[in-house]
Amino acid sequence: MTNKEKARERREKRMQEISLLRTIPYSDRQRWWSCENVAVVTGSNRGIGFEIARQLASHGLTVVLTARNVDAGLEAVNSLRNQEGLRVDFHQLDVSDSSSIKEFACWIKQTFGGLDILVNNAGVNYNLGSDNSVEFAETVISINYQGTKNMIKAMIPLMRPSPQGARIVNVSSRLGRVNGRRNRLANVELREKLSNPDLLTEELIDRTVSKFIDQVKDKTWESGGWPQTFTDYSMSKLAVNGYTRLVAKELLRRQEGEKIYVNSFCPGWVKTAMTGYAGNMSPEDAADTGVWLSMVLSEEAVTGKFFAERREINF
């Protein structure tokens, strides 16, 4: 058996375990939430985001589904309400538009008074298969990284204090690992800075992303030592992973009762529109880790970590 076949066998076995775990209901002791708790899932009219919203609502939370396109968002909400009887609301949101984020924040405050869970799922990728175009690199960075960062900044003041702590879950990718065996940055010094919690800053992350965009514009990016696979998408997720660790560290200073746990996870290669439906995992299985991170008990909760298939992996 080849290494690739062994890896596939391990993944399939783990997916079977997760499918089983999802059938086990949460006990009364584990259920810290009720329908009074509000979860916001960005970009959730289809794919992984839709499934995260559906699973959270199925567990009894009130879920706010968001989408750029109003018709698509309303159609998704109506299917969850009418077909499954779930507590789901909709509001239009474009995470690449600061005014849209501001309007959404005002609506959340007026409608619910705040939120308990934020899942940053909204994202784009314009490459399929072996493609590696950077034609839309600015859009990819704007939505995947800057949109996630700006949503976190806008929602933190609205996250409700509780003994269990609020949750922020960022949908990311193994392609954005700083120290992955493949697809990593060539610049060793930069990798070390991005890996070191004492050296990691928002300015460093932004400067790294800006340098990549500048090289895209002057057409020198191919010799810049950037990740080789889905370069723009990988850079956006590398930035998301870095910002996850940074904001988690900043929020650790909060006192008990005002904690916010921040983590990211890789859903895998999923059968969605983003992969041209060529993935090897269903949206139901892919959503599981994000849902689990949103609801895990506070005494078991961690922060500033990266997960896949309910297991911590390296950034």
> Could you list the active site residues?
233
Residue 137: CB atoms within 10 Å = 22
| CB-based contacts of 203, cutoff 8 Å, min separation 6 | none
Q: DSSP string covering 123-156, please?
A: ------TT----TTHHHHHIIIIIIHHHHHHHHG
Residue with tokens 């991005």: 194
Q: Exposed, middle or buried, 99 (CB in 10 Å: 0-12/13-18/19+)?
A: exposed
Distance of CA 139 to the CA centre of its chain: 17
Amino acid making up residue 236: S
Name the strands in the sheet holding 38-41, side by side, starting at the edge strand that comes first in the sequence. 88-92, 62-67, 38-41, 117-120, 166-171, 260-265, 306-308, 311-313
Helix (H, G, I), strand (E, B) or coil at 199: coil
Cα–Cα distance for residue pair 303/282, rounded to 1 Å: 26
Cα–Cα distance for residue pair 101/293, rounded to 1 Å: 24
Closest among 215, 240, 217, 218 to 226, alpha carbons compared: 215
